[in-house]
Amino acid sequence: MNLTQSPMGKLILSVLLILLTSFYCFGQQAKYVFYFIGDGMGPAHVATTEAYLAATEDEIGFQKLSFTNFPATGFATTYAENRLITGSAAAGTALAAGQKTTINTIGMNADRSKNFKSIAEEARDNGFKVGIISSVSIDHATPASFYAHQPTRSMYYEISLDLPKSGFDFFGGGGFADPYKDNSVSTSVFEIAGLSGYTITSTRATFDSLQPGHGKIIAMGTKLESSGALPYAIDQNDADIPLEEFVDKAIAILDNENGFFIVCEEGKIDWAAHANDGASVIQNVISLSMSVEEALEFYYQHPDETLIVVTADHETGGLSMGSSRMKYDSDLKLLGKQKISFQNFSYLVDSVLVKKGEDKPTFEFVMGLVDAYFGLGGTNGSPLSEEELEIFYQAYLHSIGEVSSLNGINYGGYNPIAVTTTDILNQRAGIGWNSYSHTALPVPVFAIGVGHEMFNGYYDNTDIPKKIAEIMGMQNWSSGELK
Question: Under rule CB under 8 A, which residues in 35-54 are in contact with a copy of itself?
Answer: 43-44, 47, 51
Q: Which residues pair with 132 in a beta bridge?
A: 171, 263
Burial of residue 442 (CB within 10 Å: 0-12, 13-18, 19+) is buried
| 392 touches a copy of itself (CB under 8 A) | no
458 touching a copy of itself, by CB under 8 A: yes
Nearest to 140 by CA among 189, 180, 106, 102: 106
Contacts of 141 (CB under 8 A, 6+ apart): 87, 88, 89, 92, 106, 153
Q: What DSSP state is assigned to residue 342?
A: H
Shortest reach from residue 47's CB to a copy of itself, in Å = 5
User: Smallest distance from the beta carbon of 13 to a copy of itself, in angstroms?
Assistant: 5
Nearer to a copy of itself, 357 or 408 (CB): 408
> Which x/- pattern, by CB under 8 A, does the window 408-427 give for a copy of itself?
x---x---------------
295-302, long-range: CB within 8 Å, 24+ apart, which pairs?
295/34, 295/36, 295/247, 295/251, 295/262, 296/66, 296/448, 298/32, 298/34, 298/251, 299/32, 299/34, 299/448, 299/449, 302/31, 302/32
457 near a copy of itself, rule: CB under 8 A: yes
Binding to a copy of itself by residue 84, rule CB under 8 A? yes
CA separation for the pair 189, 201 (Å, rounded)? 14
**Could you say whether residue 18 binds a copy of itself (CB under 8 A)?**
yes
Please tell me the distance from the alpha carbon of residue 236 to that of residue 242, in angstroms, as a whole number.
Answer: 8
Least distance from C-beta 66 to a copy of itself, angstroms?
A: 12
Which of 1, 205, 300, 328 forms a contact with a copy of itself (CB under 8 A)?
328
Residue 361 beta carbon to a copy of itself: minimum distance, rounded to whole angstroms: 28
With b meaning 16 or more CB within 10 Å and e meaning fewer, what string describes 281-303?
bbbbbbbbbbbbebbbebbeeee
Q: Which is nearer to a copy of itself, 240 or 460 (CB)?
A: 460
478 near a copy of itself, judged by CB under 8 A: no
- Measured from the CB atom, the residue of 103 and 163 that comes closer to a copy of itself is 103
Interface with a copy of itself by CB under 8 A: which range of 4-12, 104-112, 148-156, 183-191? 4-12
Between 235 and 315, CB nearer to a copy of itself: 315
3-state SS string over 275-291? CCCHHHHHHHHHHHHHH
Binding of a copy of itself at residue 69 (CB under 8 A)? Answer: yes
> CB of residue 441 vs a copy of itself: minimum separation in angstroms?
5
Give the number of residues in contact with a copy of itself, rule: CB under 8 A.
74
In the complex, the smallest distance separating the C-beta of residue 26 from a copy of itself, rounded to whole angstroms, is: 6
Nearer to a copy of itself, 61 or 383 (CB): 61
Is residue 6 a contact point for a copy of itself (CB under 8 A)?
no
Minimum CB separation from a copy of itself for residue 161, in Å?
28
Contact assessment for residue 443 and residue 313, using Cβ atoms and an 8 Å cutoff: yes
Give the HSE-up count for residue 106: Cα atoms under 13 Å, Cβ half-sphere: 23
Minimum distance from residue 76 beta carbon to a copy of itself (Å): 10
Is 363:353 a contact under the CB 8 Å cutoff? no
Touching a copy of itself, residues 222-281 (CB under 8 A): none
Residues 427-446 that bind a copy of itself (CB under 8 A): 430, 432-442, 444, 446
Contact segment (CB under 8 A) with a copy of itself among 14-22, 141-149, 256-264, 347-355 equals: 14-22
- Residues 6 or more apart whose CB falls under 8 angstroms from that of 92 comprise 37, 106, 141, 142, 143, 144, 145, 146, 313
